[in-house]
Structure formats: C-alpha cells, structure tokens
Amino acid sequence: MGLIDNLAKYAQHQNLSKDKRVVFDSFIKKGFPTNSDEEWKYTSLKKIVKSEYNLFPEFSEIDNSIINKYSLGIKDKIVFVDGNLVFSPEIKGVQITGFSDFDCRNNDAISELNSALAKSGFTIIIEKDIVVENPIEILFFNFTKNSFSQYRNRIIIGENSEVKIVENIQDLSKSSTLVNHFTHVSCNKNTKVEYNKIQNNTQESKLIDCMNIFQNQDSVCEVNTLIFGGGFIRNNLNFEQNGSNCESNMNGISLLDANQFADNHTFVDHKTAHCRSNEMYKGIYLEDSRGVFNGKIMVRQDAQKIDAFQANNNLLLSDNSTIDSKPQLEIYADDVKCSHGCTIGQLDEEALFYMRSRGIGISEAKAVLTYAFASEVIESLSIPELKNLSQKLLAHKLNVNLDFSL
C-alpha cells in the first residue's frame, strides 16, 4: 500500500472536522506532486511515496545524554520526542506551548496534508517589546521506526521584539522515515528574527520542510539553512513582505555526499515599497550527491525601490555530482534594483598547488578551499556555537582534522 492509500485509510478513523475534511479531500484530489509539476521538475517523490510508513508514533523515553549530544549546548531548549513535547523552557515574555491549530493560505498538496492531519508541533508567542537574550533551541527527536511525522508550528513575534532560534530535526530510528514540517512565522512591526535550521541526518531520512514568513513594516528576518546530510531534503522557504522597510535574508549551505539529495526552493514576495532581500546559497556536492536550487523573486507593481540580491554558488567536487539551479525573477515595478547570479565550478588547481607548496596536504588543501568557498555563509552565523558546529561538520564531512577558527 502506497503512502496516499495509507493516509486515506488513516484519515477515515480520525474524525476530522468539516473544514479539515475539505482540505484533506483537496490533498487526495491533487495527490503528491510529480515531475510534471514545474515546482517539482528536478525533485522526484516517486520512491518516497511508494514506501510503507508507520503513521502512529510510538512514544519513547529520552535520555539526557542524547539531548546533550545533539544540543548546541544552549540553555533554553524545546524538546520533542516522537512528536511529544517533553521539555520547554520558561522565558520572560515568551509563551511556549505545544500544537495549536491555525489556517494558512498554502494550497499545495503537501501543505494541505499537513494542515489536515498534523497534531504535533510548537507554538511560540513573544510579547511586544521583548528582546529574548539567549537563543532558543528546538530539538525534534524521532525513534519510531519507519515513521511518517507531521509537525505544524507557529511563531508570533510581537512589535519591537527580537529572537534567535535554532531548529534541529534528528532521526534516531535507524530506519527509513519521512517528516512533513510546516512552520508559520508572523513578524510584527519592527521585529528582528533569526531562524537557523540544522539539517544533518542519515541517508534514510527524508524531510519536506515548508516555512512561511509574513513580515510587517520595519522588520528584519533571517533564515539560515545548514544542510550537512540527509537522504532527501526539500525546503520551501517563502517570505511575504507586507510593509515598508522590511528586510528578508536567506543563507544556505548544502554539503552532501554519497547519494544524498537536497532541494532549496525560495520565494520572496515583495508586495510593498522600500524593502530589501538578500539571498546567498552555497552548494558543495561530493560523490553521487545531487542538489536543486530554485530562487524566485517577485516584485509587485506597487513595490518600488526594492533592492533584491540573489546568489547561488556551487562546487561540484566529483564527476557524478549534479546541481540544477534556477533563478526566477518576476518584476512588475519599474524602479527597482534586482540582481542574481549562479555559478557552478570546481576547486582552483593553482590555489591547491599554492597551498601544497606551503605544506598543506592535498585533502586538507581541498578542505580549506571548500571552507573558503562556504565561509561567507558560515562566518556570518551570529550564534558562536552554531558557527563552531558548522565548521566541525564541514571538516568531518571532508574527512580532515582541521580547525577553521582563528
């Protein structure tokens, strides 16, 4: 039985409300997207939806040592185990609770599925005029074998407030699993938000992540997507600017090997004037790995004086690695500044010799050059523990014992 039949059967027993039933039926009608859908042209779900999944989480206990192993060492942690919220911190001016339902405008099949059936996730509400001093770490652990998990999360940031968040979805089931992760972020006036995603998983884990960010005037929001492993990853990152003087920043690293796959789809909807967006995605592909980048920037008719920048740079470090990169600009206003660029290349032989002549061995020289390539993103990370972890993961993945700090 494929996933869609399994889900239909599951839904029958869920006593869905009338509204949810409508959304679910819409999902069933559309089905999972295929390669004939433009947004999924280079990304195939075929194998994924054919697999058998367990839709019922089996709750397990978690040992503190496991939490500590995957935590950045940040004090304020939200911890989920098999979809259960087991731990949340007390922070002044911040309400943290489990799943609370909400509507959204996404009408793609996978978001509808999440909307109809998700029962787990977090809700973070930050009051106005609160600067959350320490970053908040959110850890999702899964131990259920062959699980299909759906999380639905909501973040509301009150006027003039600031927060930094690090999210890590970790599959420890040693089996083939799928996660459908949906997060909705509302940035009110004059807020500052930084959201970091660590995606470092096993070959068998699959993740479809959708994040919608709604920005009001004078808000700044940054999302860093750090991919260091995973069998299949699809990230949909959507920004909507609804007030003047908004800034949307996106940075990404994809460092993949074996036959890993990661797809970053970004969309910035510039609806109002005097706003900015910056996008910098770096891909490094080893062995048989494959990447996709699709960056869409829409500048609506009334959105004058927009300054939008997008770059996607890729290093292909083997003959069998692949990247499909597609910048997409749709501009309906006449007084804007938009630039984009995409590069695909290899390491510079001259630079390699230069480093070797200084005593740096060939693997280390390659690693240093690769780090240099990614450093624009890694060095910009504002949480020291996260920067440190990224440097370590990069060295580990490139099989060298190098310390990139100093």
How far apart are CB 181 and other proteins at their closest, in Å? 31
How far apart are CB 352 and other proteins at their closest, in Å? 9
Token match 């009408």: residue? 107
Closest CA to 127 of 103, 99, 163, 84: 163
Binding status of residue 9 toward other proteins by CB under 8 A:
no
Looking at residue 112, the DSSP 8-state letter turns out to be: H
Give the residue with the Cβ less far from other proteins, 103 or 403.
403
Give the residue with the Cβ less far from other proteins, 258 or 372.
372
Give exposure, 376-402, as e/b (b: 16+ Cβ within 10 Å): ebbeebebeebbbbbbebbbebbebeb
Q: How far apart are CA 359 and CA 110, in angstroms?
A: 51
Give the residue with the Cβ less far from other proteins, 104 or 344.
344
And the tokens for 68?
Answer: 């500590």
Give exposure, 112-150, as e/b (b: 16+ Cβ within 10 Å): bbbbbbbebbbbbbbeeebebeebbbbbbbbbbeebbbb
The answer to whether the CB of 107 falls within 8 A of the CB of 137 is: no
Judged by CB under 8 A, which stretch of 16-24, 31-39, 117-125, 374-382 contacts other proteins? 374-382
Judged by CB under 8 A, which stretch of 132-140, 255-263, 302-310, 372-380 contacts other proteins? 372-380
The count of residues interacting with other proteins (CB under 8 A) is: 26
Token match 């003087």: residue? 245
Task: List the one residue from 56, 100, 362, 399 that touches other proteins (CB under 8 A).
Answer: 362
Closest CA to 199 of 174, 230, 160: 230
Give the residue with the Cβ less far from other proteins, 345 or 361.
361
Task: List the one residue from 106, 274, 360, 388 that touches other proteins (CB under 8 A).
Answer: 360
Residues 163, 132, 121, 79: what is their CA dihedral angle, to the nearest 10 degrees? 120
How far apart are CB 365 and other proteins at their closest, in Å? 8
Task: List the one residue from 110, 227, 374, 394 that touches other proteins (CB under 8 A).
Answer: 374
Binding status of residue 406 toward other proteins by CB under 8 A:
yes
Binding status of residue 392 toward other proteins by CB under 8 A:
no
Pairing of strands 307-316, 276-285: parallel
How far apart are CB 404 and other proteins at their closest, in Å? 7
Give the residue with the Cβ less far from other proteins, 298 or 344.
344
Task: List the one residue from 2, 73, 361, 384 that touches other proteins (CB under 8 A).
Answer: 361
Closest CA to 140 of 116, 115, 113, 122: 122
Q: What is the pattern of x (binds other proteins, CB under 8 A) and - over residues 317-356? A: -------------------------------x-xx-xxxx
Binding site for other proteins (CB under 8 A): 348, 350-351, 353-362, 364-365, 368-369, 371-376, 402, 404, 406
